[in-house]
Amino acid sequence: MTGAALMAALMASAATAQDAAPAPSDAAPREAAPAIAAGDWRVVAPDNLLVIDTSKGRILVEMTPEAAPGHVARMRLLAKAGFYDGLNWHRVIDAFMAQTGDPLGTGEGQSWHPDLKAEFTFRRDAQTPFAVVAAPAGALMGFVQSLPVQTQPDAVMRTTADGKVHAWGLYCPGVAGMARDDAPDSANSQFFLMRQPYPALDKRYTVWGRVVSGLDVVRALKFSPNPDGIVSDPDRMTRVRVAGDLAEAERPTVRVLSTSSAPFRALVESTRTARGADFSVCDIDLPVQVD
């Protein structure tokens, strides 16, 4: 994997996105959260929960196999093997993303496994859990579990051979993407977590999950003032495991507000009112409980 080529691609996307990106979600005014009952929470499946312990604290990522089954399988495989343990956050750009997963720490390294086929989009059917929050012309925006997604409308399902429609993850804060070289099918082990929204990356880099707890940790990682983002004294990941592979006594339980609940609908409406014409699915911060 060529770090220079990857950085050029990411920075080109970032430059385009600077003008297109909505204001950071934590800048949006907030109203009081509605009361949430016990039945309004959804427990994240342990096999879909990636536990990233870092020198700055813990990050919990809900992986979304509905969006990128091959990339989620790779993350599970590498985490189980301990591949990520001790690796640096070698490239961190303050208003962009934090990148890791390179055993060389230079942007040039990768795992011993073959490169992955791109999963920039996925096919969604009527059984895919999808909660609509906005309907721009000719599209829907919402959530698949905790992942912000844009998709074709359900009505298009009646016209497709497989009864499904195109959908893709949106690069909102906390979204997890797979780094790659110029070739679309060149992702391997390096990944990045978004510190801020960058919609110019949508459908260009595979989305495989979203941070559900620890976005503050992602934003606290040491970043570089240099354009290439290379950190001279980087923070590191101390241990990365899928929760399902941990002993039960040390396995975190994560509950996310269910997108089928009344409090979720109230949260969407209150956020829409607060943001007005600037409303984006990226503005919706799903409440989370961690035990």
Tokens of 257: 């507000």
Q: Kindly list the structural domains of the chain, giving each domain's residue range(s) and its CATH number in brackets, ordered by start.
A: 3-24+39-246+253-286 (2.40.100.10)
User: pLDDT by residue (tens digit) across 64-112?
Assistant: 999 999 999 999 999 999 999 999 999 999 999 999 999 999 999 999 9
Q: How confident is the model at residue 35 (pLDDT cuts 50, 70, 90)?
A: confident
**Three-state DSSP string of 277-291:** HHCCHHHCCCCEEEC
Strand ranges for the chain from DSSP E: 41-43, 49-54, 57-63, 91-92, 97-100, 122-124, 131-134, 140-144, 147-151, 165-169, 175-178, 191-194, 207-213, 237-242, 254-257, 288-290
> What's the rounded Cα separation, in Å, for the pair 259 and 188?
32
Do residues 50 and 239 make contact, with C-beta atoms less than 8 angstroms apart? Answer: no
Question: Maximum distance among all alpha carbons in the chain?
Answer: 54
> What's the rounded Cα separation, in Å, for the pair 86 and 46?
22
User: pLDDT by residue (tens digit) across 244-285?
Assistant: 999 999 999 999 999 999 999 999 999 999 999 999 999 999
Q: Is the pLDDT of residue 22 over 70?
A: no
> What's the rounded Cα separation, in Å, for the pair 254 and 152?
30
User: pLDDT by residue (tens digit) across 196-216?
Assistant: 999 999 999 999 999 999 999
